């Protein structure tokens, strides 16, 4: 099995139904995801994965079939549905596989200690899932020796793919982390569903998530939108998510007005202290993600800086936090954006007046409104016990 260059050229655009050779294939529309496509021809499926350049940047092509798929209009890695004995280089892939009830398919994973799912953790303790992390990279020797059926990787950040492919281990690139919409990331359930032979289940799960999310999100007519600052200090530098980011979309859908919405980019944006004070001082809400193993205190937000302690959000009790040491923000939350959205709605509208109707979602505790002087370290319910 071989992953070769696109017929349309490496990094080229995806096909259309009118492109030569694609007449017998039909594209299955995505609702929100922009980094993968599913094409179907009878029982056969063709998956295209895109990188940072969007649909002009194809980084992976996989045909999923039980028969000889030829002729294909594009060269692709051939896979059989219902994959088993897979390895994954990212813990973020695990919640998708778990949601589809296919954890037994995972034979190896990098950084197993960071996965919160209790069933997965039990399988690790039983020796059914091997650790393949080696420092900040992968233990290629272990991977090559165990020869998984496929390796789920990600197309940027390290050069393991080439070495694994040369050793005969097929690599499937996963770029869910590039999706800018929370429902776009959740929709990768459908990608994994095709590969794991659980396509109908994946479609059903995502449909439910989408319906619940859309039922509670704020619409364009929402008037009571508090201004929201979101960011924190790392190594002495202030960082905020760009206006086209996953977090900015969450804030908008939760009925907030993100103060840095006009700044776009890839990855978090560095902001100088003067700008932080000028723009952030009058924000009604201030949130951040942190990894804290102790009760939250004011200095976690302000660093003891009296200028920040004078922020409107501080003085008016408008702080909220996602504590990744307690809430599974980088795991289970990926397939529960509906519950994460509700947590943000509660955090941005703590007076409880935002909705006057029953909701189809229950909170998960991914984000919490901070009550001063401190909030105790408590269980975050389902977000902690996966």
The reported pLDDT for the residue numbered 1 is 34
The reported pLDDT for the residue numbered 73 is 84
The reported pLDDT for the residue numbered 236 is 76
Cα separation, 253 vs 247, in Å, equals 10
Q: How far is CA 292 from CA 76, 113, 364, 376, in A?
A: 44, 17, 18, 11
HSE value, Cβ hemisphere, 13 Å, CA-based, for 360: 13
Q: Name residue 50's beta-bridge partners.
A: 58
Predicted TM-score (pTM) of the model is 0.89
- Per-residue pLDDT, averaged over 305-327, amounts to 94
155: confidence class by pLDDT, cuts 50, 70, 90? confident
Cα angle, residue 354 at apex, residues 214 and 383 outer, rounded to 5°: 60
Residue pLDDT, tens place only, 47-96: 999 999 999 999 999 999 998 877 888 899 999 999 999 999 999 999 99
What percent of the chain stands above pLDDT 90? 71
373: confidence class by pLDDT, cuts 50, 70, 90? low
**Structural domains of the chain, ranges and CATH numbers in brackets:** 26-211 (3.40.50.1980), 219-383 (3.40.50.1980)
Q: Is the pLDDT of residue 384 over 80?
A: no
The reported pLDDT for the residue numbered 147 is 94
Q: Provide CB contacts within 8 A for 33, sequence distance 6+.
A: 179, 183, 184, 185, 187, 188, 190, 191
Nearest alpha carbon to residue 99 among 230, 204, 240: 204
Q: Is the pLDDT of residue 157 over 90?
A: no
Place of tokens 């700008």: 275
The reported pLDDT for the residue numbered 318 is 95
Tabulate helix, strand, coil % of the chain (nearest 5).
30, 20, 50
- Per-residue pLDDT, averaged over 15-43, amounts to 86
356 or 215: which leads in pLDDT = 215
Q: Name residue 380's beta-bridge partners.
A: none
């Amino acid at each position: 099995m071989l992953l070769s260059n696109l017929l349309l050229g490496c990094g080229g655009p995806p096909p259309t139904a009118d492109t030569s050779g694609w007449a017998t294939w039909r594209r299955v529309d995505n609702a929100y995801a922009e980094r993968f496509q599913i094409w179907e021809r009878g029982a056969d499926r063709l998956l295209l994965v895109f990188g940072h350049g969007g649909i002009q940047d194809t980084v992976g092509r996989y045909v999923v079939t039980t028969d000889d798929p030829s002729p294909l209009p594009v060269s692709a890695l051939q896979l059989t549905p219902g994959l088993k004995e897979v390895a994954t280089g990212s813990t973020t892939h695990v919640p998708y596989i778990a949601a589809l009830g296919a954890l037994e398919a995972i034979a190896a994973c990098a950084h197993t200690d960071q996965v919160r799912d209790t069933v997965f953790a039990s399988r690790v303790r039983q020796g059914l899932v091997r650790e393949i992390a080696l420092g900040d990279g992968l233990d290629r020797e272990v991977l090559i020796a165990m020869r998984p059926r496929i390796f789920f990787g990600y197309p940027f950040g390290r050069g393991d793919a080439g070495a694994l492919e040369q050793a005969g281990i097929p690599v499937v690139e996963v770029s869910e982390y590039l999706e800018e919409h929370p429902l776009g990331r959740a929709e990768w359930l459908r990608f994994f569903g095709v590969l794991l032979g659980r396509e109908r289940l994946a479609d059903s799960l995502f449909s439910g998530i989408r319906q619940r999310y859309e039922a509670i999100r704020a619409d364009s007519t929402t008037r009571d939108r508090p201004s929201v600052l979101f960011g924190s200090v790392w190594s002495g530098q202030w960082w905020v998510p760009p206006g086209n980011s996953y977090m900015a979309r969450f804030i908008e859908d939760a009925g907030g007005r993100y103060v840095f919405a006009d700044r776009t980019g890839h990855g978090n944006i560095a902001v100088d202290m003067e700008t932080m004070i000028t723009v952030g001082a009058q924000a009604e809400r201030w949130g951040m993600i942190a990894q804290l193993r102790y009760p939250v205190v004011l200095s976690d937000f302000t660093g003891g800086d009296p200028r920040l302690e004078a922020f409107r959000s501080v003085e008016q009790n408008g702080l909220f936090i996602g504590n990744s040491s307690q809430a599974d923000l980088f795991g289970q939350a990926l397939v529960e954006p509906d519950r994460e959205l509700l947590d943000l709605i509660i955090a941005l509208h703590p007076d409880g007046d935002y909705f006057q109707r029953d909701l189809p979602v229950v909170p998960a505790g991914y984000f919490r409104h901070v009550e001063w002087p401190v909030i105790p370290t408590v269980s975050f319910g389902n977000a902690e016990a996966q």
